[in-house]
Chains A and B, each alone.
Chain A
Amino acid sequence: MAIALGDPAQFIRDHTVLTETPLVPEVRLYVASEMLPIWQMTEDEMQKVGLPPPFWAFAWAGGQALARYILDNPELVAGKRVLDFGAGSGLAGIAAMLAGAGQVSAAEIDPIALIAIDLNARANKVIVTRLEGDIVGEIHTGWDVVLAADVCYEGPASKRIVAWLDDLARAGMLVLMGDPGRTYFPKTGHEKLISYAVKTTTELEDTDLRNTSVWRVTGLGRDGL
């Protein structure tokens, strides 16, 4: 079966399955599965149909941990304005809405991810505002809480993002990160709040359980940054 992008929302519904998230069964997401042709798509085929790498089609370990923590500690976001940065599937932001956040904005540079976020939000009966583009560097006063899950996997990009998250923390926002120990996740500048063993697939992470932590960014700066 040939895969064509066409209408992105229809594409997402056709090529993913609404699935319970392992660590966060309260949230269901449209994710890729090995039962579907999209799982076998090659880089060439993705390029041909104009599909950027679909980070939104997987519930990454960092997002699952962060979502779990927020749902278990709803007072952190209740009534607050929340930014879900590099939202991917929108998992962390959706969890924040379910935990009683006043409003959630999900920021993504991938326009198709934003469509997936909208579908995912609706599937969980919440509304998430979408923010398209690279917002790193913007010091916005409109947020109380900033969520960033699994954003440190590319060297140069991680540096920019982490420096900006530090600035946001210094500006008084509560900045929470979820990370399973990705290569470019900094060693200092945050305190660990909790750790989870997150169920993932070996095809994504080489192991079926990843020890993943939720961190609060202190804003006190970091070694080597």
Chain B
Amino acid sequence: MKVLVPVKRVIDYNVKARVKADGSGVDLANVKMSMNPFDEISVEQAVRMKEAGTATEIVIVSIGPAAAQETIRTALAMGGDRGILVKTDQTVEPLAVAKILKIITEQEGADIVILGKQAIDDDSNQTGQMLAALLGRSQATFASEVKIEGGKAEVTREVDGGLQTIRVNLPTVITVDLRLNEPRYASLPNIMKARKKPIDEKTPEDYGVDITPRLKVLKTTEPPVRTAGVKVESVQELVAKLRNEAGVI
């Protein structure tokens, strides 16, 4: 069974994001970039499936600038078999990503596509769902547990009210949530081995997909700065403030 794992190069989750002066977006100049943490979880899931004998080959895909090759290498070091880099310096929105992934999924004959439920840079949470729709396949989103058995996938989903377990037919698209697993760190021999694994280089044009943005960013703003607190002298004063100023009781 072939598994396709798309990965996105995003601003590192430890970096404090700064908004560009003109409000057009987040300043990415000289900022540490790494693999979207949800995508690390999907790579880990694919590798565990291969170790368990369910998956036979893991293909890693990334759509982005030349540097996204590094993100692919990281996924290969974790246990991916080979990579495909779809190179573009343009902004690629979820729909364009889904269209490219659809063609790659079909060309590769991948039975399962596992991807992060969202990327931490734009928090769109759209690509997996769009991909399943374009492919006409089942989808199992927000997975916190995945079992593959007899041509079906049993997926436990994290929903608002708790957990929901569904069974979907293969081929399918699975998006992963935070609690599915804890991604491994690739050790030195695996990093070295990954350097010798093949990565194909493509462009969006190779797939005949128009990636021109359809969304317009109107503005980007920093979160409001937290204001200083005050000290109260007594319980009575606290209650008064909660009632009259905060209006919470």
Q: Which residues of A contact B (CB under 8 A)?
A: 32, 34, 38-43, 46, 53-55, 57-58, 150, 153-155, 182-184, 201, 203-206
Contact = CB atoms under 8 A, between A and B. Distances in A.
A183 B198 contact: yes
A41 to B, nearest CB: 5
23 contacts: A32-B188, A32-B189, A39-B187, A40-B188, A42-B191, A43-B191, A46-B188, A53-B195, A54-B192, A55-B195, A150-B196, A153-B195, A153-B196, A153-B197, A153-B198, A154-B195, A154-B199, A155-B198, A155-B199, A183-B197, A183-B198, A204-B189, A206-B193
Nearest to B193: A204
A173 B189 CA distance: 34
A54 B193 CA distance: 11
Q: How big is the B interface, by class?
A: 10 to 19
A201 B195 contact: no
A184 B195 CA distance: 12
B189 A43 contact: no
B188 A54 contact: yes
Given A155-B201, A182-B196, A183-B198, A201 B189 contact: yes
B74 interface: yes
Given A43-B74, A43-B77, A38 B195 contact: no
B186 A43 contact: yes
* Most chain B CB inside 10 Å of its own CB: which residue of A183, A201, A205: A183
B186 to A, nearest CB: 7
A58 B187 CA distance: 14
B201 A203 contact: no
For the complex, would chain A's binding face be called helix, strand, loop or mixed by DSSP majority?
Answer: loop
Given A155-B201, A183-B198, A184-B198, A39 B188 contact: yes
A38 to B, nearest CB: 6
B69 to A, nearest CB: 9
* Most chain A CB inside 10 Å of its own CB: which residue of B74, B196, B198: B196
Given A203-B193, A204-B193, A38 B188 contact: yes
B190 interface: yes
Nearest first, the 7 A-B pairs at minimum CB distance are A183-B198, A203-B189, A153-B196, A42-B185, A41-B188, A40-B187, A204-B189
A96 B186 CA distance: 35
Given A40-B188, A55-B192, A153-B195, 15 more contacts: A32-B189, A40-B187, A41-B187, A43-B77, A43-B186, A46-B188, A46-B191, A53-B191, A54-B188, A153-B197, A154-B195, A155-B201, A182-B196, A183-B198, A184-B198
B26 to A, nearest CB: 22
